[in-house]
Amino acid sequence: MHFASLEYALLFSLVFGAYWALGRAHLPRLVLLLAASYTFYAWWSAYYLLLIIASSAIDYLVGGRLHHSQEPRRRKAWLLVSLVGNLGLLGIFKYFNFFSASVGALLAHLGVTLTPPQIDVLLPVGISFYTFQSMSYTIDIYRRKLDPEQTPLPFVVFVAFFPQLVAGPIVRAKELLPQLACQPQLTARDATRGYLLIMIGLLKKAVIADLLAVNLVDRVFETPALYTSMEVLLGVYGYALQIYCDFSAYSDIAIGSALLLGLTLPKNFDHPYRASNLQDFWRRWHISLSSWLRDYLYIPLGGSAGSSWQTYRNLAITMLLGGLWHGAAWTFVVWGAMHGVMLGLTRAAQRSGVLALLRQHVSPRLWQLVGIAITFHFVCLTWIFFRSPDFAHAAGMLLILAEFTGGSANISPLVWSVLALGAMTHVIPDGVARLEEEGIHRLPAPLMGALLFATVTLVRYAASSEAVPFIYFQF
Query: Which one of the listed residues 326, 339, 361, 393 is annotated catalytic?
Result: 326
Q: Which residues contact 314 (CB under 8 A, 6 or more apart)?
A: 298, 301, 302, 303, 304, 306
Question: What is the Cα–Cα distance from 231 to 410, expressed in whole angstroms?
Answer: 7
The model's pTM is: 0.91
For residue 443, name the pLDDT band (cuts at 50, 70, 90): confident
Task: Please say if the pLDDT value at position 113 is more than 80.
Answer: no
Q: Is 205 exposed, middle or buried (0-12, 13-18, 19+ CB in 10 A)?
A: buried
**Every domain of the chain and the residues it spans:** 6-184, 189-462
pLDDT, tens only, 328-366: 889 999 999 999 999 999 988 888 877 778 888 788 889
Q: Shortest CA distance to 451 belongs to which of 188, 198, 186, 190?
A: 198
pLDDT, tens only, 253-297: 999 999 999 999 999 999 999 999 999 999 999 999 999 999 999
Q: Is 26 a catalytic residue?
A: no
